[in-house]
Amino acid sequence: MTNLVSLLQAVAQTAQQMGPPRGGPGGPGRPPPGFGYTDALMELTRFVGSFLAIGAVGFRFGIVRRVRGMSDEARTILRADNAALLGILGVLLLALNTLGAPYLTSIADNKSFAEALPKNLNPFEFKLAMLALAFIGFALVRAAPSFGWILAAIGVLFTVLQPLYTGRNFANKVNAVHILAASTWLGTLLVLTLVGIRGLIRRHSSGGHRAGLVADLVNSFSPLALTASPIVAITGATTAWLHLKRLSALWTTSYGIALMVKLVLVLIVVVLGAWNWKRVRPSLGTEGTEQIIRRSATMELMFAALVLIATSALVTLPSPG
């Protein structure tokens, strides 16, 4: 938590030192106007929630279902109950964000919770209903796997893509696809690493077979990552352009500087991802190699976490456009 706060502080302070933000300069050593740590933390809650919820669905539908010829032991380890638990955690974080945002507004503006809710309650209530559906779906996975996963997938997708079918703002629609693609790529990698690779390393008895299974899981993940990552880049570039409006905003505004910090971190994630795909993945399958991919995937995920932290600062800053 201390690291997170210092990183957000560093992004905000760098932004301030390098030039006045659109809304005018903040005081010395202060974050730029418009930036709030609580807002940034709330955004981070939403991002991590999406990563976990979509990652769990991606793991089940994009990876486990594609691996053929699993032994009973492997099937038990990868039964995906643990992925469903991560999904539930994601749904709870998304619900915390959905209810927490009006709650914080009510405190800041000295209003009642009901007064702080959006004027049009329908999308808000629909989102809560979809979150409840996703929660029930994940909770049912152990008793009725196929039904549970389908309910969870519907609930999660309708929640994350809500701006696509309710909003009028084009930037919000692009953002919804951006977060869906980013979560499909890196959220699935997170669940694959935590549940799939770690689960097999800890609990599978046969070393050789275990290494083969890890290789199968990683090979099933690659097409998902290779499809989602270009969508992340295209939607990211689109939303960046919609917000920046002119190139010079990249270095003259706090928003632009936070975006550049994010892009450096994104570049590191891409390089690590390419390394895992091109170098580590082809070497998998022999005993001991599962530890190598676990370490390198964890490294990629650590930088992905930094991308999310930088993004939480970015979306809280005033847009220059």
Catalog residues that contact ligand HEM under the rule CB under 6 A: 47, 175, 178-179, 182, 186, 232-233, 236-237, 239-240, 243, 259, 266, 269, 304, 307, 311, 314-315, 319
Contact 199, 82 (CB under 8 A): yes
- Which residue's CB is nearer to ligand HEM, number 127 or number 178? 178
- Which residue's CB is nearer to ligand HEM, number 11 or number 179? 179
CB of 221 to ligand HEM, least distance (A): 15
- Which residue's CB is nearer to ligand HEM, number 223 or number 230? 230
- Which residue's CB is nearer to ligand HEM, number 47 or number 138? 47
CB of 179 to ligand HEM, least distance (A): 4
CB of 178 to ligand HEM, least distance (A): 5
CB of 38 to ligand HEM, least distance (A): 16
CB of 106 to ligand HEM, least distance (A): 22
Nearest to 277, CA basis, from 207, 181, 185, 191: 185
- Which residue's CB is nearer to ligand HEM, number 40 or number 304? 304
- Which residue's CB is nearer to ligand HEM, number 49 or number 199? 49
Q: Which residue has the tokens 């993940």?
A: 221
CB of 288 to ligand HEM, least distance (A): 29
What DSSP string describes 70-127? --HHHHHHTSSHHHHHHHHHHHHHHHHHHHHHHHHHHHHTT--HHHHS-SSHHHHHHH
- Which residue's CB is nearer to ligand HEM, number 187 or number 212? 187
- Which residue's CB is nearer to ligand HEM, number 150 or number 164? 164
CA separation for the pair 201, 198 (Å, rounded)? 5
CB of 319 to ligand HEM, least distance (A): 6
CA distances to 48, 301, 302 from 264, in Å: 20, 15, 14
Contact 164, 177 (CB under 8 A): yes
Nearest to 95, CA basis, from 60, 56, 136, 58: 136
Q: What are 139-148's contacts with CB under 8 Å, separation 24+?
A: 139/84, 139/88, 141/80, 141/81, 141/84, 142/81, 142/84, 145/79, 145/80, 148/84
Q: Which phi and psi (to 5°) does residue 111 adopt? A: -120, 170
Q: 66: exposed, middle or buried (C-beta count within 10 Å: 0-12, 13-18, 19+)?
A: middle
Which bin fits 228, alpha (ψ -120 to 50), beta or left (φ > 0)? alpha
CB of 100 to ligand HEM, least distance (A): 15
